[in-house]
Structure 1
Amino acid sequence: MKKFKLLFATLMLLVLTACSMESPFLENAEESTTNENFKIGFSISTLNNPFFVTLSEGAEANAKEQGADISIVDAQDDASKQASDVEDLIQQGVDLILINPVDSSAVGSAVESANAAGIPVITVDRSAESGEVVSHIASDNVAGGVLAGEYLLELAGEGAKVAMLEGTAGSSAARDRGAGFLQAVEGKVDIVKSLTANFDRGEGLTVMENMLQANPEIEAVFAQNDEMALGALEAIEAAGKNIVVIGFDATDDALAKIKEGKLAASVAQKPEEIGKAAIKTAVAYLNGEKVEEFVPVELELVK
């Protein structure tokens, strides 16, 4: 009996020793799972726009800080190319896809493809009208449009002849900024023209030239991004006119024009913060944390 008790005690000691030797390994295994290098794909609408360049740089920098691998692809403002880019990211087996849509309606099929592959999607700056999205990271574009409209009304006054340069048709940013602007000025100013210039500086110049030829009485312009606002300024200066112009994004070029007194104001979106917030939300979700359906990024009027 004594021999049996001694044998039992020896066996228990061996088991306890083995467990204590295993625990550091188990702890390290758990840490490696938590600190896994996630692969994140980012389909961005265009890198031919300073706003989105800054946004992508914010995402890239934060991904490096978080220890995540990021692959950024440029859709070049082409909804078909964006759909193809997302399919490529799916084939690469990324853990999550960030999408900054060219067209909020057209991107739905790409989101649904990612859903079918079991890859979570987060939209950035612009939303998707269909498909399942984990979270949306953006400024409140409607509120930004209201800010622009209220300030334009303050500068130009009630009854002013106003034109609006719209962004890419079908994008949620264009739709929401326009809706916010109209909410602030409708019934208080005379909107003589509202045309798309696709968030592009060159198109902003051409469209504004045509607007001024058809409506030389225009007194104020709201451009739904700074690139179009800067193009409009070129056309206005060439025509020798003094017209209030308000943009959106507060890019470096726009801020320089505000300091010169040529651009009245711009709504600052803080693209770098949007990019950082997108990565932070993506990594949190991949780590099993609960994330908000909408993560707003603060904006302000710069004048």
Structure 2
Amino acid sequence: MRTYLSFETAVADIDARLDELRAVAEKGDSPALAEEIARLEARADKALADLYANLTPWQKTQVARIQGRPRFGDYVKGLITEFTPLAGDRYFGEDEAIVGGLGRFEGESVCVLGQEKGDDTASRVQHNFGMARPEGYRKAVRLMELADRFGLPVISLIDTAGAFPGVEAEERGQAEAIARSTDACLALGAPNIAVIIGEGGSGGALAIAACNIVLMLEHAIYTVASPEAAASILWRDSSRAQEAATGMKITAQDLIRFGIIDGVIAEPLGGAHRDPQAAVAATGHAISDGLKSLHGLSPDELRNARAEKFLAMGRKI
């Protein structure tokens, strides 16, 4: 069953009419009906293309969050072979919001990290909606240090509204865990590349995204705080989230212009949720190109390039 966002009413109406005509066409051949279906299909594609070419930041936020958009597990399944998940931070326990492990990407051994939001109610609860506790970031540090020891490239797939804000997370050192994870990213002597596949929320995203190359899917968002949280902080009114999203410059198109990210990965017509396999494949090509561009750099060159990349952002601002 297709899912439509509130601003996709016109497309939904055309698709509903198409479904009706296709049901009639299945009962018998009709050249006139086939022509009408072809005309409506072209109209639907054009309406979708026009709509998605001019999405507002708030609309992109909705697309980035929509059910059916490929999640971390979909990318691992589509891009990584022989994936072996590794659990636990060796301090407190296992956090399932951040999933990580070792596998092969295009035949090369890699370490893969990312937030998993889940696909249904049970899996979302299991993975805490992709919001990691301190042990998740400490697990990420452990895996990055393991990758560094063996010279394995690190691929981070980012999809989180932010780190878990609960009392128990603060009691166990959430801020310190995020800081150490960010530091581990910056200190890696192996190449690392991050892709914002949905939401890139605050320090919860940056903790595993301080990489040599940072990419974003076309309709993903990367934020210092969610639009709702920003509206609550600025105006004490979360209903002004749409206004906050516009002012925060959270889209891939804004962020590449500011030099915050390094590339934008085109999504299938109508968003990654309409053709997940194509979105995963396009992301794989972009990761491959990124890793090839880093091939041959020494550990010191990788660290220096990474440091210069983030220092340059402050100079621009």
Asked if Structure 1 and Structure 2 have the same fold, meaning a TM-score greater than 0.5 normalized by the shorter chain, the answer is: no
Indicate the structure whose relative CO is greater, using CA pairs within 8 Å and at least 6 residues apart.
1
Select the structure that is richer in helix.
2
- TM-score for the superposition, normalised by structure 1: 0.30
- Between Structure 1 and Structure 2, whose CA radius of gyration is higher? 1
